[in-house]
Amino acid sequence: MPTALITGASRGLGEQIARQLAPTHSLILGGRPSDALDALATELGAATFAVELTDHDAVASAAAAIPSLDVLVHSAGVGSTLLPVAETTADEWRHVLEVNLVAAAEVTRTLLPALRAARGHVVFINSGRRDAREPRVGCVRREQVRTQSPRRRPAR
């Protein structure tokens, strides 16, 4: 059975992905240490990757226990405070980028040996935004705005 690690698995899209993959994959549920993550892991018979993704040492330590990984799904993400760009502070931008970009890249880099061992795949769907159509969007990826806007444009 292939192994899948899903970040952001304790709720939202990550939880739903875990539920969909549970019948066909051995799961490793990633998320901040929480009762919700533990409860879902118990329910699905999954292992946990209970770390704060911005803690690169904790990520490296947890990753060392994963010898082979078929699928890495990045669904953990944070959004801004939904302020207009002009009102979003540099610290808010840094936090969003640290979680949604830097942490995801670091998790992927750290798990590359396990992914290579299984000829695995990486899927990025992480962001903290649920609906990018509102006008008060601050820290949102351009691709997300493009894919969720009423007039869809082809990817470049």
Question: At residue 136, does pLDDT exceed 90?
Answer: no
CATH code of 31's domain? 3.40.50.720
Residue 58's alpha-carbon distances to 14, 25, 108, in angstroms, are: 20, 24, 14
Q: How many domains does the chain have?
A: 1
- Any domain includes 37: yes
Looking at the domain assignment, is residue 147 inside a domain? no
Q: Is residue 103 part of a domain?
A: yes
Residue numbers of the domain that contains 106: 3-66+80-124
Structure confidence at residue 150 (pLDDT): 43
Q: Report, as an integer, the average pLDDT of 97-102.
A: 90
Tens of pLDDT along 22-78?
999 999 999 999 999 999 999 999 999 999 999 999 999 999 999 999 999 999 888
User: Which helix or strand (DSSP H or E) is residue 44 part of?
Assistant: helix 35-44
Specify if 134 maps to a domain: no
Residue 9 in domain: yes
Query: Does a structural domain hold residue 137?
Result: no
